[in-house]
Amino acid sequence: MGKQRGYLVFGVKDGSHAVTGTSFDPLSEKAKGNQLLPLWLSLGLQPNVGFEIHPLDYHGKRVVLFEIHPAFDRPVKFYGKACIRDGTSKTELSKYPEKERRIWQQRSDWSAQVCVIARHEDLDPQAIEKARVEYRTKFPAKAVEVDGWDNKTFLNKVKVTISGGITNTALLLLGKPESSTLLNPAIARISWILKNERNEELDYQHFEPPFLLNVDRVLARIRNLTVRELPSGTLFPVELTQYDPWVIREALHNCIAHQDYILRGRINVVETPDTLILSNQGGFLPGNVETVIRQDAPSELYRNPFLAEAMVNLNLIDTQGGGIKRMFQAQRRRYFPLPDYDLSQPERVVVSIRGRILDERYTRLLMERSDLDLETIILLDKVQKRRQLMRDEHRQLKKKGLVEGRYPNLTVSGKIASITGEKARHIRDRGFNTRYYQDLLLELMREHQPVSREDIDRLLLDKLPEVLTDSQKLDKIHNLLSGLSSKQGKIRNTGSRRYSHWVLVDPDCEKPNQMNQIEKQRRNKEKTKKKRQ
């Protein structure tokens, strides 16, 4: 770290550094997808800091030198993962937070840069007045003092300008709409998009600076419909809006504060009938949401530290951090699904806030069990969303008696289902034991043999647990048939593998060993008959 270049050399022996030479030709070597190696390497670097390849002749031996430029403002990821050398081993950079922090600290803060062609006349007077109101709310002890400051003094005091210079932060939060061109090539825009259940766009509107005013205008476009929920043990429904306004505002302010404006993307707010999806450009610096909630402390890494401090001073975000955790807690208090963070794209963060009850059992469980901690609720939220838990997460919920079922297909436990009045739904999700399904199969064949696989599917598909996918249900039926035929010898297939016709081996036979013997005798007779023919 701190070096002007890094070097990777082919044709030199490790340890002794003796020059041995190499036939490796990176300019003609093919990589994944049959791409040329230099192109494949360039496409995988995020951001692409650049490298040069130098084939050299050293005392008659061919050597290949890769000259690699340094990371200058953020860790460099290769196809989504940042790595570091630890001795002779390669490991993930996230395991070395101090080194990662030093890389970020080398970055020039775009939000603090002064726009030399901008003037105070480029700022919106209404936005400045709104900033004064918010500053007084944030710091009531300074309310009288603020009234004595002129605009230039005020903007310097709240750290939106620097010695009177108009910063990118000032243009974002307080600038007139036409002043957004002064930020080029960066883009300052929030887009609200309304879509229907078929993902078709119905309406849209773009919002430019001043963001201090336009956040409220974005929120006004969102149709925050009223939904009705019947709490356990009551006769009257409670009316709730789809979304908590504070949660939406917090999520949007996070998008503004953490947007990587250098990437020239926009902040999107996509509204569907039951979900609000907000996205911003730039990777999620803390790594994962679970870490943020668990440590419950302000992040040590900020993409736009000058902008973040200004937003704190203007009462937009909290100086203590923890906004994400409070969003989760707010959704928990409303008994709604928790926010979903999609971090699968290296330079984009997507958060989805659901505005509908997803699973009534989960909702009623939260109503009954106010003692559950947030970590447990996050795991239960995964269960209701049919997301696979880790083995240790499954054990945590199992130990508390909150879930049951064979891993990974879990459902709310019978005890909780009884409390929440969802006994019937619980039985449908849990399913019945194997003997029940096999008895149904035997009865079907006893009455209607031979039966096809289609007949069997029609009998069982709607009786299997609802937590299973369609393919898992078909696999379950296959296993039931295998158990009755190869293991118990009670049924056999008289058709082909493609067109099966299942019949009972012997309706009066009860012992598995006896049925297996009968089946073996039948097969031997068929083999003997074929040989004679």
| Distance (Å, whole) CA 246 – CA 316 | 11
Which of 218, 250, 104, 112 has its CA nearest to residue 172? 112
Amino acid in the structure at residue 520: K
Q: What is the pLDDT of residues 277-332, one digit of tens each?
A: 999 998 887 777 887 887 765 566 678 999 999 999 999 987 656 788 999 999 99
Q: Cα(172)–Cα(266) distance, rounded to whole angstroms?
A: 13
Residue 28 is classified by DSSP as: T
Residue 506, pLDDT above cutoff 80: no
Could you give the CA distance from residue 467 to residue 346 in angstroms, rounded to a whole number? Answer: 32
How many alpha carbons lie under 13 Å from residue 361 in its C-beta half-sphere?
24
Tell me the C-alpha distance between 330 and 244, whole Å: 8
User: Quick one: pLDDT at residue 306?
Assistant: 94
Q: What percent of the chain has pLDDT over 70?
A: 84
Neighbour count for residue 520 (Cβ, 10 Å): 11
6-105 topology per CATH: 3.30.950
The listed range with the strongest mean pLDDT (23-32, 104-113, 472-481, 524-533) is 23-32
Q: Is residue 24's pLDDT more than 90?
A: yes
Please give the CATH topology (third level) of the domain spanning 434-532: Arc Repressor Mutant, subunit A (1.10.10)
Domains of the chain by residue range:
6-105, 108-325, 434-532
Would you state the pLDDT for residue 513? 46
Maximum mean pLDDT: which of 260-264, 270-274, 471-475:
270-274
With helix as H, strand as E and coil as C, how does 46-64 read? Answer: ECCCCEEEEEEEECCEEEE
Tens of pLDDT along 140-153? 999 999 999 999 99
Find the distance separating the first CA and the last CA of the chain, reported in whole Å. 81
> Three-class SS of residue 227?
strand
**pLDDT tens string 508-522:** 544 444 444 545 565
Is the Cβ–Cβ distance between 175 and 189 less than 8 Å? no
Q: What CATH number belongs to 108-325?
A: 3.30.565.60
Q: Which pair of tokens denotes residue 283? A: 């990777």
pLDDT band at 196 (very low <50, low <70, confident <90, very high): very high
Cα 71 to the chain's mean position, in Å? 26
DSSP class per residue in 240-278: EESS-HHHHHHHHHHHHHH--GGG---EEEEE-SSEEEE
Would you say the pTM of this structure is higher than 0.75? no
- Radius of gyration (C-alpha) of the chain in whole angstroms: 32
Mapped onto helix, strand or coil, the DSSP state of residue 412 is strand
